[in-house]
Structure formats: C-alpha cells, structure tokens
Structure 1
Amino acid sequence: MDSQDRLFRFRLPFHLPSSTIVRSGGVYISGALFAIAFWFLIDAAIYSKTVNASVVHVTFIDWIPGICSALGMLIVTSIDKSRLFDDALGGGASSTTYQARVILFLGFSLLAGGLAGSFVVLIMKFISKGYNEYPTLGMGVANVITNVSIMLSCISLWVSQSVEDEYSYSLAL
C-alpha cells in the first residue's frame, strides 16, 4: 500500500470498522438508550406507587417531558436527510427543503423542551419543596435521566442513519 492509499500519515494500530457495522452499532446503541430511558421513568412510577415512604408520587406531569422528547425523537429521525439540502440549481431553497427544515426545527424544539421540562419538574416538584432524601429526589433525577437518554438515543440514531453505505454512490456532477 503506498502513501496515496492511506487515510492517515501514520498507521493506526487497529482497523476502522466498515460503515455497515457502524450503522448497525449506532442503531443498537440508540435502541438500548431509548429502552433505558423509559425503564428509569417506569421504575420511578412503580416505586412511587408501591412504597409508602414516599410523600411525592409520579403523576402525569412527570410523564409530559418524556412524551415531548419521544415525539421530538420520532420527528427528527423520520426526516429524510436528503431533503434538508438545497437541490435547486437556482440558488434559492425549494419549498420541500424549507418544509423539511421547519419540521426538523420542531423536532429539535420538542427534544429541547422535554429536557428543559424535566429539569423544571425536578426543581419545582422536588428540590424547591425540600425533598432532599434520595428515594424521593431520585424520582425527579430519573425524569432527567430519561430525557437525557432519549436525546442521546436520537443523536446516535441520527448519526448512524447519516453514515453512507459502502455500496452507495454519489453521481452528482
């Protein structure tokens, strides 16, 4: 292999995985993070209903940030990424490109709103009322962990969907 065939000037001590492995790994990591996210929220809800030592209980208000984040993830990952770039040769963005960008912004807004809402619930429901003991405060922390995990899951899925296949060709002139 001569120097023009290499990606780096120096040799790496390992081989980079193929794009199909990276794509599959990203999808599996995304699914695991999404499952872990709702496991934390369901665990907190079950704990609040079964243990009588807790004064505060998980209500529908605690579920709203997770629902917003899940809807945001659904919107963001369902956008076709080829629609986000301007395909028109005239220089102006086409109507489809503009609509895709607006919908993508709405999805990211739902993700950010869900994360911010989980922090608001943690602060307003648990910290400001003085529930500093772990089992009760842990229900609010579980809500934040849920939304952070959903956001990381969305990022992982977005990146793994953006990886091109080894057999895809760009025929743009």
Structure 2
Amino acid sequence: MALPRSHYDPRRVCINPFPGISLGKHRRTIGIYLAGGLFALANWTFLDAAVLSAHAHPPYTEPQIPPPVHVTFVDWLPGICSLLGMIVINLIDKDRVQGHEDFGDARAVWRARLFLFIGFALMAGGLAGSVTVLVLKYILHHYTEQYTYYGYANVSQNVALMLSAIVLWISQSVSTEYEYTLSI
C-alpha cells in the first residue's frame, strides 16, 4: 500500500482522495450556471457545424464538384434525443426517486425511477447515435477534416448535453442555506 497504515481507511474506494473543493454557500448557483454554460456550448458547437455545412462551397480549383456531405436530419436526431432525455431527467422530482413516501402514492417512486431510466436511456441513445453517425457517415468515407468536423461536433454536443444534465441534477439536489423545511 502507498499510504501509511494510520491514514488508511478500508472503506475508501480510491487510494488518493479527491481534492476537497469548498464552494461555500454559492455551490448550487455555480452548478446551475455551469450546467447552463455546458448546454449553451453543446448547442453552439453543433449549430456552428450546421451553419458551416449550409455554407460549404466546392474547392476553388474544381468549382464543378459539389461538397461531398452536408449536415442533414440524421445528424440532428441524436441531439434531439439527448435534449429530450435532459428535459425528462430534470422534470423528475428528486424526492420521489429517493423513495420518500410523503406523496401518498406507493407507485410514485417506481414511476419516477422508470422515467429517470427513460431519460438516461434517451441520452445514452443520443450519444450512441452520434458516434454511429460519425463513424458511418464521416469516418468510413474518408472525408477531409473540414467535413469530419460535422460528426465530431455532433458527438461533442451529446457529451456536453449529458454532462450538463448530470451537473444540473447534482446542483439541484444540493440544498442552499436559504432553504427552510417546515414540518407539522
């Protein structure tokens, strides 16, 4: 073992602990803004590729040859699936997923977990679809970097949407110091 026996805790998963970052009372706000930034970056990246594709022109040396590939509806589908998954995930009440029975309906926990699974399945399907489109449409045809950028932008959009949903889920689960719970 790398750690002295006095510092070793058998319950730890990692040998090296994660750094303790204290964001103070603003951790929820920072997380929400970070999630929004990731969401904006994701959609900006793909829209950049779509605009570049729409304005692609043939090479100046051979003006009769059209551009070999454009962003089509098939490229938009993975992003739409990830966006729907993100919406489904963030519409779920976090207390129901954790199993609190305060709502009166015993099946509410099961339904909330089912919808959470559907949301993550939509996001995973979007990521898998974007990788599939990248490989089948752009890499196998050996296009130049100008055209493979469209596929890479699609994959990066879906990864950033997944990260945004995870950060938003975590940051909304954190309580703030201004939140009071009253129980009778």
Q: Which runs of 5+ in 1 are unaligned?
A: 1-13
Using the TM superposition, give the Cα deviation of residue 15 of structure 1 relative to its aligned residue in structure 2, in angstroms. Answer: 8.3
Counterpart position of 2:49? 44
The one of 5, 17, 22 equivalent to 1:16 is 22
The alignment status of 1:78 with 2:91, answered yes or no, reads yes
Q: In the aligned structure 2, how far is the partner of 1:39 from the partner of 1:115?
A: 17
The alignment status of 1:118 with 2:145, answered yes or no, reads no
Q: In the aligned structure 2, how far is the partner of 1:169 from the partner of 1:37?
A: 35
Using the TM superposition, give the Cα deviation of residue 75 of structure 1 relative to its aligned residue in structure 2, in angstroms. Answer: 0.6
Q: Which moved more, 1:72-81 or 1:159-168?
A: 159-168
Using the TM superposition, give the Cα deviation of residue 17 of structure 1 relative to its aligned residue in structure 2, in angstroms. Answer: 2.7
The alignment status of 1:57 with 2:62, answered yes or no, reads no
Contact 1:58-1:139 within 8 A present in 2 as well: yes
SS at match of 2:157: helix
Q: Which runs of 5+ in 2 are unaligned?
A: 1-19, 59-66
Q: In the aligned structure 1, how far is the partner of 2:182 from the partner of 2:95?
A: 14
Using the TM superposition, give the Cα deviation of residue 55 of structure 1 relative to its aligned residue in structure 2, in angstroms. Answer: 1.4
- Structure 1 runs of 4+ with >6 Å offset: none
Counterpart position of 1:4? none
Q: TM-score, normalised by structure 2?
A: 0.77
SS at match of 1:113: helix
Contact 1:87-1:94 within 8 A present in 2 as well: no
Cα deviation, 1:137-165, whole Å, max 9, x if unaligned, reads 11100000100110111111011001112
Using the TM superposition, give the Cα deviation of residue 94 of structure 1 relative to its aligned residue in structure 2, in angstroms. Answer: 2.1
Q: In the aligned structure 1, how far is the partner of 2:163 from the partner of 2:72?
A: 25
The alignment status of 1:139 with 2:154, answered yes or no, reads no
Using the TM superposition, give the Cα deviation of residue 72 of structure 1 relative to its aligned residue in structure 2, in angstroms. Answer: 0.4
Contact 1:86-1:94 within 8 A present in 2 as well: no
Cα deviation, 1:17-55, whole Å, max 9, x if unaligned, reads 324x11111111111111111111111111111121441
Q: In the aligned structure 2, how far is the partner of 1:85 from the partner of 1:170?
A: 17
Letter paired with 2:127: L
Q: In the aligned structure 1, how far is the partner of 2:68 from the partner of 2:21?
A: 54
